Homo-oligomer: A and B are copies of this chain.
């Protein structure tokens, strides 16, 4: 099992950091995530959350003042712990190797991150859905993830470009295509839930060829 790239582990980490969070509060968070992912934030009532968590409704409001803070409580550990770790971990794997080929880099990224997307699909769906509508969440996301990519992914891309391993496109475009293509797996999972064929090799090949220099 990897370091800290899954939600459940990240929840643990956050709880440990904050002095332990009572078990019922963990149940509330877990139930919220599950229901938000299934039904959407707006279609989920605090009563449902309480029921699923096996808790009284008042308990939901002990730690989180209102429903929006509860959403933040679910998403925050993901944004501040899971994503940063994910990206930094990748950077460590890769930065040490000065003569990386395009294939090596892209395999390294895609392979692990697909597992990540599959494992964290629920929270990703919630995040994406709410980002499209809540401005504060969106700007928070941008200020968190933007620098993360700039500092960890982009230098690697620049090096590969310098070595003639990668097309000479702006880093943001390359990131768009890499991340976007991986996220299409999320969409596929929503539209074709029965299909479980392993997609990694195909995705790696598509991205790799697509990003090859002319």
Contact = CB atoms under 8 A, between A and B. Distances in A.
A136 B209 CA distance: 38
Interface stretch (A13-21, A26-34, A97-105, A183-191): A183-191
Contacts of A131: 190
Nearest to A188: B176
B177 A206 contact: yes
Contacts of A142: 191
B42 A190 contact: no
A67 interface: no
Interface string A177-214: 10011011001101110000001001001110111101
The copy count of this chain in the complex is: 2
A161 interface: no
Interface residues of A, number: 37
A208 to B, nearest CB: 8
A206 to B, nearest CB: 4
A1 B188 CA distance: 33
Contact of A138 (B176, B188, B191, B207): B191
A133 B35 CA distance: 11
Contact of A210 (B173, B191, B207): B207
A129 interface: yes
Contacts of A169: 202
Given A209-B210, A210-B207, A176 B180 contact: no
Interface of A: 39-40, 42-43, 125, 129, 131-133, 138, 141-142, 167, 169, 172-173, 176-177, 180-181, 183-184, 187-188, 190-192, 199, 202, 205-207, 209-212, 214
Q: Which 3 A-B pairs have the closest CB atoms?
A: A210-B210, A180-B184, A42-B42
